[in-house]
Amino acid sequence: MSTRAHEVYDVVGIGFGPSNLSLAISLDEHRENVPAHPATAVFFERQPAFGWHRNMLLPSATMQISFLKDLATFRNPVSRFGYVSYLHESGRLARFVNNMDFFPTRLEFHQYLEWAAAGFTDRVHYGHDVTSVRLAPDGADGRPGHLVVEARDTTTGAVRQVLTRNVAISTGLVPRMPDGMERDERVWHSSEFLAKYRRMNPRDLTSVAVVGAGQSAAEITRFLYDSLPHAQVSAIFPSYGYSIADDTPFANQIFDPAAVDDYYYGTDQARESFWRYHKNTNYSVVDADVIRDLYRRSYAEDVDGTQRLHFLNMTRVREVKRAGDETRVLLDTLLDGHTQELDVDAIVFATGYDSMEPSRLLGELDRYCLRDAAGRHRVERDNRLLAPELPFGIYIQGGTEHTHGLSSALLSNIAVRSGEIADSVLATRPAREPAARREHAAAAR
Ligand code: FDA
Ligand code: NAP
């Protein structure tokens, strides 16, 4: 696709994961997006094609939200980009219903996202890494004219610049390694799991370890145990056992669109309570079926009198020593206070993610964005960074847990959130004369 060099876009989206894909749909479906004055948007995505956490597309992994929390339905139940439309077009609607499951596999949801993304290839530059967002030279009134977004082609290195009135930064979670741990061909983070696993010969993996007690860790432990029947599999985690992800109905209401207002306009004490009581809906917790799967495998080993699945609980990794193909892990065990060593062929750190932080991309622009007493960005209800001196919008999707609550880094609310951003972008764009009046004026000249 091409971008027009002198065009000033209504919005440039950075990253084309589910959040900005949902924004593309919202803009398309917006009541004010009329053919006479179409909203103009372009998106940059560093991956060569659409992909949603591809390295965690493990065969039996299922979604953690209902299929109805798709890219559009909560905002527009008759959108042609809803999950039901996808099922209908794929010829699977009847069988999906017979299956009576609200939680599709991640593989199926990925296919749905790819299907939706295929509707926007004319607006997305894949294989383009956005490196900066900055102010364009001043406009005629002496105020900054607009924003310049700069992207580098990941294959050729060529740099492309586009002008825009708004940006939507939706670059996703940032993988987190414990302090002092370096990734390499034997030391992996869960976000790169399948890519690195596939580079290995499974026969060379006779002892593997997984660190963490969240959903990623439990899914990878199960996968490795099933895929490497000859291997010792050690699960290393800081708690006594895996804890269950609370997805019961009352707790689940914290992911409803209305909960965003309750959080945003709530008192500090209310916001603190959201976290205190409901962090266990999402962080350091595991779906019940995966916990049961692991326990069943462990119990079956007891019955067989074999053991190759090892749970090293109340244990943290102190150090990883690497030399060639050898990897020695030093472990601190809280239960007896001892340090033990474990030799592995590969170790996976499923130690979670940091939330999105737009400062690096914004560079100099970041100093226009106000921060709270804790140093976090102040964010308006429409997901725009609070920057009163800037006449354009820097919207963020993700990185707003402190202002918008627990659903900020999840899919639960993206249909509604992207609609709110589309409303805001379209409400603030410069008015354009209706085409009929323009033609009349031209004829009169
Ligand atoms: P996402 O990370 O998906 O997309 C960001 C995109 O931006 C990426 O494609 C990236 O390549 C691109 N990008 C980054 N920097 C760029 C740059 N400088 N230039 C250009 N492109 C750039 N939530 C939920 O509600 N239900 C669920 O079932 C799951 N399941 C799940 C599984 C796994 C394994 C993880 C790690 C997370 C989840 N989540 C989840 C949470 C997850 O954050 C959420 O599903 C979405 O990925 C959020 O979509 P985004 O588009 O915001 O980020
Ligand atoms: P997470 O929930 O943040 O869990 C990270 C785990 O690593 C925690 O148990 C943490 O323990 C542990 N940890 C951190 N540092 C450690 C250290 N130094 N030593 C030992 N353990 C350490 O991360 P996640 O499992 O990757 O999940 C992230 C998000 O992705 C969640 O929203 C999750 O639901 C989602 N996800 C979804 C699916 C799916 O849809 N099927 C699959 C995977 C992930 P502490 O509790 O002590 O911090």
List pLDDT tens digits, range 119-155: 999 999 999 999 999 998 766 555 667 899 999 999 9
Q: Residues 281-340: pLDDT tens digits? A: 999 999 999 999 999 999 999 999 999 999 999 999 999 999 999 999 999 999 888 999
> Can you tell me the distance from the alpha carbon of 100 to that of 120, in angstroms, rounded to the nearest whole number?
31
Domain CATH number, residue 32? 3.50.50.60
Q: 215 in ligand 1 pocket by Cβ < 6 Å?
A: no
* 162 vs 149: CA distance, rounded Å: 5
pTM equals: 0.95
Identify the domain boundary among 294, 323, 353: 353
pLDDT of res. 1: 61
- Verify that 93 and 33 share a domain, yes or no: yes
In this prediction, residue 74 carries a pLDDT of 98
Residue 334 and residue 197 share a domain: yes
Instruction: Tell me, using a 6 A CB cutoff, whether residue 281 lines ligand 2.
Output: no
State whether the beta carbon of 211 lies less than 6 angstroms from ligand 2. Answer: yes
Is there a single domain that holds both residue 38 and residue 110?
yes
- Whether residues 222 and 148 share a domain: the answer is no
Is 215 near ligand 2, meaning CB less than 6 Å away? yes
In 3-state terms, what secondary structure has residue 304? helix
Bridge partner residues of 384 (DSSP): 395
Q: What angle do CA 248, 249, 252 make, to 5 degrees?
A: 85
CA of 213 to the centre of ligand 2 (A): 6
Q: From ligand 2's centre to the CA of 28, what distance in Å?
A: 35
Answer whether 400's CB lies under 8 Å from 410's CB: no
Is 433 a residue whose pLDDT tops 80? no
Is residue 284 within 6 Å of ligand 2 at its C-beta? yes
- Does the pLDDT of residue 357 top 80, yes or no? yes
Tell how far the Cα of 35 is from the centroid of ligand 1, in angstroms.
Answer: 31
pLDDT for residue 435: 45
Closest C-alpha residue for ligand 1 atom 27 = 64
Task: In whole angstroms, give the CA distance from residue 178 to residue 21.
Answer: 32
Residues 141 and 44 in one domain: yes
In this predicted structure, the answer to whether residue 276 has a pLDDT above a threshold of 80 is yes
Q: Provide the 3-class DSSP secondary structure of residue 41.
A: strand
> pLDDT, tens digit, for every residue of 12-26?
999 999 999 999 999
CB contact at 8 A, 230 and 206: yes
Residue nearest (by alpha carbon) to ligand 2 atom 22: 212
* Strand segments (E) across 102-224: 124-126, 128-135, 147-153, 159-164, 166-169, 174-175, 187-189, 207-211
Q: Are residues 287 and 276 in the same domain?
A: no
Looking at the fold, whether 316 and 263 belong to one and the same domain comes out as: no
Percentage of residues of the chain with pLDDT beyond 90: 89
Q: What is the pLDDT of residue 31?
A: 83
Residue nearest to atom 17 of ligand 2 (CA): 316
Whether 138 and 33 share a structural domain = yes
DSSP string, 334-358: TTT--EEEEEESEEEE---EEPP--
- Name, in order, each residue with C-beta under 8 angstroms of 59's C-beta and a sequence gap of 6 or more: 105, 107, 223
Does residue 46 sit in the same domain as residue 111?
yes
Identify which ligand lies nearest to the alpha carbon of 117.
Answer: 1
Whether the pLDDT of residue 436 is over 60: the answer is no
User: Does the Cβ of 316 fall within 6 Å of ligand 2?
Assistant: yes
Q: How many CB atoms lie within 10 A of CB 104?
A: 20
Question: How many domains in the chain?
Answer: 3
Atom of ligand 2 nearest to the CA of 285: 2
> At 4, is the pLDDT very low, low, confident or very high (cuts 50, 70, 90)?
low
Residue with CA at minimum distance from ligand 2 atom 26: 352
Nearest CA to 216 out of 240, 243, 191, 182 is that of: 191
Q: Which domain holds residue 254?
A: 249-281
Domain check: are 112 and 257 in the same one? no
Name the strand (E) or helix (H) holding 67.
Answer: none
Pocket of ligand 2, candidates 66, 219, 275, 284: which has the most ligand atoms within 8 Å of its Cβ, to mutate? 284
Average pLDDT, the chain: 94
Ligand 2 proximity of 175 Cβ (cutoff 6 Å): no
Nearest by Cα to 173 from 395, 370, 15: 15
> Which ligand 1 atom lies nearest to the CA of residue 216?
34
**What is the C-alpha separation between 184 and 186, in angstroms, rounded?**
5
Which of 305, 328, 353 lies at the terminal end of a domain, its last residue? 353
List of residues 6+ apart from 106 with CB closer than 8 A: 53, 56, 57, 58, 61, 62, 63
Q: What are the Cα distances from residue 340, in Å, to 79, 221, 231, 316?
A: 56, 20, 20, 10
Give the pair of three-digit tokens for residue 376.
């976090």
DSSP per residue, 225-280 = HHH-TTSEEEEE-SSSS--B----HHHHGGGSHHHHHHHHTS-HHHHHHHHHHHGG
15 CA distance to ligand 1 centroid (A)? Answer: 9
> Nearest ligand to the C-alpha of residue 172?
1
Sign, CA torsion 76/413/360/349: negative
Measured distance CA(73)–CA(102) in Å, rounded: 14
Q: Which ligand ends up closest to the CA of 209? A: 2
Among residues 265, 281, 297, the one where a domain terminates is 281
Q: Is residue 220 in contact with ligand 1, taking CB distance under 6 Å?
A: no
* Spacing, Cα 118 to ligand 1 middle (Å): 18
CA of 17 to the centre of ligand 1 (A): 6
Same domain, 148 and 45: yes
Torsions phi, psi of 291, nearest 5?
-60, -45
- Residue closest via CA to ligand 1's atom 22 equals 15
User: Which of 105, 351, 411, when mutated, tests ligand 2's pocket best, judged by the most ligand atoms within 8 Å of its CB?
Assistant: 351
Ligand 1 atom closest to the CA of 62, numbered from 1: 28
Q: With contact defined as beta carbons under 8 Å apart, do 345 and 327 qualify?
A: yes
286 lines ligand 2 (CB under 6 A): no
Regarding whether 231 and 185 lie in a shared domain, the answer is: yes
378 and 403 in contact (C-beta within 8 Å)?
yes
